[in-house]
Structure 1
Amino acid sequence: MSIDPSIYYAAIPAVLLVGLTKGGMGEALALMGVPLLAMAVPPVQAAAILLPILVVMDCVSLWIWRDYNDRTLLKMLLPGALIGIAIGWATSAYVPRDALRLIIGLITVLFAARYFYNSWRARHGHIAQAKPHRLVPAAFFGTLSGYGSFVAHAGGAPFQVYSLPLKLPPRDYTGAAVRFFAILNFIKLGPYFALGQLDTTNLTISATLVPLAIVATACGGFMVKRMKPEVFYPFMYAMAFIAGLKLVYDGVVAFV
């Protein structure tokens, strides 16, 4: 087994960005992880190297956010997400991943743009109220999140589209998000192992990056815990907007 040391020039910044995200700083940074690592290895291998690291990051995040959660949000989204993972596993060979990125990206950009439009209206006296939980949107966006997470590593944007308008307390929102994606990533280990991607080489690279992953995740959690709601929500919507743009860009470039 021989590992090219140049892989780490791409892997280290990728893990730093994803670690900040897993600490609670939004999906946009995480979307840069696989593309960065894919500069040094094939995209499928990049995703396989990052998956065990994500599971370690999830463990750190679960400890950081152990006192915060929103059980109702998890109950609403997880059933659809599990169905989405199953559909993704069954159809990943047939559905164009770039088309999925483009669709999810467009939905997310419009969703974030609507928030900033409503924020502009709020300064003129028109304040949008928090939305209640709704079964049909929860099932749709939960399934899209699970499906996108499996086939395109793009599960965070649909999660945000459903959950951010609920206007939960920031720490409860982050605690629920951490638990949601920890469950999804753990479940994804089985299919990735079945695909033969969790081999000795990839696991060795993952293991050497774990200490950096733990530090980056802790730093992300430290910063998010100190954000006030009036800072947290604009920041999260901005991250969702950037994530959406990145997905749209990836999808368009693939079809050009």
Structure 2
Amino acid sequence: MGGVLHCAFYRNLSPGMITDPLFYLCAIPAVLLYGIAKGGFGGNIAILSVPLMALVASPIVAAAILLPILCVMDLVALRTFRGRWHRENLRIILPSALVGVIIGGLTFQLLNEAHIQLLIGVIAITFTLNIWLRRQVQAQRGPDILRGGFWGAVAGFTSFGIHAGGPPINIYLLPQRLDKTILMGTIAVFFTVVNLAKVPAYIFLGLFSPANLWTSLVLLPLAPIGVRMGFWLLQRSNEKLIYQLCYIFLFVTGWKLLYDGWIGLSGG
């Protein structure tokens, strides 16, 4: 009886909150997946979270529900990696990423999500195939203003609507072969800034409905759990394996986005 009263009371406090069990069946692994990616695998597998939630909710609703959770995950990741990030790269990619976020906000209601998915998919697949098919060992790259500025802006733009900034920023960072912890820490700082910058635009566009925010609150306890799981896995994996996994996830993600974009354009 007490449980029934508690549930009724909670529903009164959270009008319109998503209560469909099928939604949470998809949303819980999606949030954990995002956390694991932020804590240890560079963000590429995280891109599967929005499509997973989009099986039971619209992509826009899924993105709006995820954003507050991502902001909390970013803060947990920031504390987890504490100062272990590449400052020179951040000075290059953060300003351009903010420009990309602004462009994403201004064009959000004009651009077709499917076109963005196709673009990122082609870039991710081409990049990983280029790495894998080269016979000679690729020379290690360092920070570069032009490359970093371009990919930072692309990451900010693609992150805005579908939280798909992972592949572009990894295309810039992975060839530098940074220490695995420095790599993940740099990505953590990058997305902390990018996701917080998206919040005002999401408010302005009316994406944070009471239902979306209450649903975010219900899923919020999973945020630190996912990040800590990812960090635990990171500490128990060698650097070569982490980079191999990052490239594999980037390649698989590229095909997933290519498929989603094609279905979106064809109306399937």
The interval holding the TM-score normalised by the smaller chain is over 0.9
CA distance in 2, matches of 1:52, 1:46: 11
SS at match of 1:27: coil
CA distance in 2, matches of 1:81, 1:182: 11
Superposition TM-score, scaled by structure 2 size = 0.89
1:132 CA drift (Å): 2.4
SS at match of 1:154: coil
Find out whether 1:247 has 2:262 as its counterpart: no
SS at match of 1:133: coil
- Note the alpha carbon deviations across 1:56-76, whole angstroms, 9 max, x for none: 111111111114100011111
Gaps of 5+ in 2: 1-14
Gaps of 5+ in 1: none
| Aligned residue number for residue 34 of structure 2 | 18
| Aligned residue number for residue 5 of structure 1 | 20
Asked whether the 8 Å contact 2:121–2:253 carries over to 1, the reply is yes
Find out whether 1:207 has 2:222 as its counterpart: no
| Aligned residue number for residue 177 of structure 2 | 167
User: Structure 1 pair 154/2, CA: closer, same or farther in 2 (3 Å)?
Assistant: closer
Find out whether 1:131 has 2:141 as its counterpart: yes
- Note the alpha carbon deviations across 1:81-100, whole angstroms, 9 max, x for none: 11111111111222222112
CA distance in 1, matches of 2:112, 2:211: 28
| Aligned residue number for residue 157 of structure 1 | 167
Mean alpha-carbon deviation: is it higher for 198-207 or for 180-189?
Answer: 198-207
Over alpha carbons, which structure has the higher Rg?
Answer: 2
SS at match of 2:220: helix
1:181 CA drift (Å): 0.5
Q: Which of residues 32, 36, 39 in structure 1 aligns to 2:55?
A: 39
Asked whether the 8 Å contact 1:45–1:202 carries over to 2, the reply is yes
Q: Which of residues 80, 88, 96 in structure 1 aligns to 2:112?
A: 96
1:40 CA drift (Å): 2.2
1:140 maps to amino acid? F
Asked whether the 8 Å contact 1:83–1:143 carries over to 2, the reply is yes
SS at match of 2:44: helix
Asked whether the 8 Å contact 1:82–1:143 carries over to 2, the reply is yes
Asked whether the 8 Å contact 2:63–2:162 carries over to 1, the reply is no
CA distance in 2, matches of 1:176, 1:28: 14
Asked whether the 8 Å contact 1:26–1:240 carries over to 2, the reply is no
Q: Which of residues 190, 193, 199 in structure 2 aligns to 1:189?
A: 199
CA distance in 2, matches of 1:157, 1:196: 27
Give the number of aligned pairs.
250
1:246 CA drift (Å): 1.2
Mean alpha-carbon deviation: is it higher for 21-30 or for 239-248?
Answer: 21-30
Question: What percent of counterpart residues are identical?
Answer: 36
Asked whether the 8 Å contact 1:142–1:158 carries over to 2, the reply is yes
Asked whether the 8 Å contact 2:104–2:160 carries over to 1, the reply is yes
Superposition TM-score, scaled by structure 1 size = 0.93
